[in-house]
Amino acid sequence: MLIIDDNADLRSFLVDCFAQNYQTLEAGSGTAGLRQAVEHLPDLIISDVMMPGMNGVDLCRRLKTDERTSHIPIVLLTAKVDLDSKLAGLETGADEYMTKPFHREELLVRARNLLENRQQLRERFSRQLVAQPTGVAVTSIDEKFLQKVIALLEANLSNAAFTVTTFSQEIGMSPTHLHRKLIALLGQSANELVRSFRLKRAASLLDQQHGNVSEIAFLVGFSNPNYFTKCFRDQFECTPTEYARRQAASGIAK
């Protein structure tokens, strides 16, 4: 969690609120906060609005329009209570907008809810991306990012030489940022995502009796059928041959 506030006393209070249950980072300005957000990709950001230089609204806008940080929930804190100020904050993509003074317990609950919502979104994205790779609706910058990921995985499905380095270059992020972004959105690293995507596609091909095990292994980017069988067993708790046999028997039973 990243706490951003130019008031040292309030920043210390906020850190104290969360330090018992969360790892916390802190920054005394919007510029420093932006730098830390990009470097560390925290799970949640709490920022004051009124700060010299880059204020909280500008910071939020920068973070929410940057593909590297767009997924991070942001809570804006402000002394301004008028509707125009609240709308300005929410229009930048802020997830919560709280006026000062605020109750400590309310802030804690709102922060916890945002983190739980992010976990639910991660699970939904993961199901859509892997189980129904062409069915992801594009309604946010994160989903647009995932659509790029889908297209890249589809295009390289049979490419055994497709590496994390290639993945990151094609997506336009450093390997570190790609890793953190995918962990945040899907709960999987780049390597895990590529392998899971290929294995689920292999299962679909086996279900359709699209070929024998060796042929399907090559179709989904495994140059070594034995390694494919090992990975498939780890994922589905049975060999590809056993899986195909079960699916065929299930089809006959229906």
User: Does a structural domain hold residue 130?
Assistant: no
81 pLDDT band, cuts 50/70/90, is low
128 pLDDT band, cuts 50/70/90, is low
**Which bin fits 47, alpha (ψ -120 to 50), beta or left (φ > 0)?**
beta
At 172, is the secondary structure helix, strand, or coil? coil
| Final residue in a domain of this structure, among 93, 121, 149 | 121
The answer to whether residue 157 scores a pLDDT higher than 80 is yes
Question: H-helix or E-strand containing 122?
Answer: helix 104-131
Q: Do 35 and 106 lie in a common domain?
A: yes
pTM: 0.76
Distances (CA, A) of 168 to 172, 175, 178, 191: 6, 5, 6, 11
Q: Residue 176: give the domain boundaries.
A: 135-253
Q: What is the pLDDT of residues 13-54, one digit of tens each?
A: 999 999 988 999 999 999 999 999 999 999 999 999 999 999
Q: Do 24 and 89 lie in a common domain?
A: yes
Q: Do 231 and 174 lie in a common domain?
A: yes
Q: Do 78 and 172 lie in a common domain?
A: no
Q: Do 236 and 141 lie in a common domain?
A: yes
Contact partners, residue 179, CB within 8 Å, separation at least 6: 164, 189, 190
User: Does a structural domain hold residue 167?
Assistant: yes
Q: What is the pLDDT of residues 170-204, one digit of tens each?
A: 999 999 999 999 998 888 899 999 999 999 999 99
Q: Do 59 and 116 lie in a common domain?
A: yes
136 pLDDT band, cuts 50/70/90, is very low
The answer to whether residue 132 scores a pLDDT higher than 70 is no
The total number of structural domains that make up the chain: 2
Closest CA to 221 of 249, 251, 200: 200
Q: Do 115 and 155 lie in a common domain?
A: no
Q: Do 63 and 152 lie in a common domain?
A: no
User: Does a structural domain hold residue 200?
Assistant: yes
CATH classification of the domain holding 104: 3.40.50.2300
User: Does a structural domain hold residue 206?
Assistant: yes
Q: Do 61 and 21 lie in a common domain?
A: yes
What angle separates helix 141-155 from helix 175-186, to the nearest 10 degrees?
Answer: 110
Amino acid identity at 183: I
Q: Do 215 and 238 lie in a common domain?
A: yes
User: Does a structural domain hold residue 97?
Assistant: yes
Q: Do 45 and 149 lie in a common domain?
A: no
Which residue's entry shows tokens 């090992």? 230
Question: H-helix or E-strand containing 219?
Answer: helix 213-219
Question: H-helix or E-strand containing 196?
Answer: helix 190-207
User: Does a structural domain hold residue 126?
Assistant: no
Amino acid identity at 159: N
| Final residue in a domain of this structure, among 89, 121, 153 | 121
133 pLDDT band, cuts 50/70/90, is very low
Amino acid identity at 40: H
CATH classification of the domain holding 140: 1.10.10.60
Q: Do 24 and 116 lie in a common domain?
A: yes
| Final residue in a domain of this structure, among 121, 150, 171 | 121
The two three-digit tokens of residue 144, written as one number: 């647009």
Sheet holding 2-4, edge to edge: 25-27, 2-4, 45-48, 74-78, 96-99
User: Does a structural domain hold residue 144?
Assistant: yes
DSSP 1-58: -EEE-S-HHHHHHHHHHHTTTS--EEESSHHHHHHHHHHH--S-EEEES--SSS-HHH
User: Does a structural domain hold residue 129?
Assistant: no
